[in-house]
Amino acid sequence: MAYPQPLTPEDNLAAAKKLLNLPHIVVICGSTRFMTEMNEADLRETKAAKIVVKPGIHMKSPHELSSDPAEAEALKARLSPLHRAKIRLADKVLVVGDYIGDSTRAEIAYARSLGKPLQFTHPDVGPCP
């Protein structure tokens, strides 16, 4: 007698999102130098009735959170796993900007490893290997 395979956490999340009738969730990735473009993408995706998550802190912009270099590095280290959690939660990854640095490249690789669909605002810079 064959037994059903237990559901993975990803399967459980997908089932819960469906059961709750949640709209599609889009995560915005890219260099924070493109925060203006990220905000525009957020507006477009929200207008299309999607839930949008994106970086919430611009580490290169002057702010008390990034004034102390040691604290800024510690904060950056905490933000990377948080953004990966946003990628796990999302139904689609939208990569914003005409430049892809190491952090964004790692996020793209992570999204691909999860089988997340990717969309690029500048297709000439993506998809990268």
pLDDT over threshold 90, residue 72: no
Determine the pLDDT at residue 111: 96
Kindly report the pTM of this predicted structure: 0.85
Task: Give percent of the chain above pLDDT 70.
Answer: 89
Residue 4 structure tokens? 């059903």
Q: How far apart are CA 20 and CA 6, in angstroms?
A: 21
The three-point CA angle 73-75-77 to 5° equals: 70
Highest mean pLDDT among 30-34, 79-83, 91-95: 91-95
Q: State phi, psi for 3 to the nearest 5 degrees.
A: -105, 145
Residue 24 half-sphere exposure toward CB, CA atoms < 13 A: 15
pLDDT over threshold 90, residue 24: yes
Q: How far apart are CA 29 and CA 11, in angstroms?
A: 23
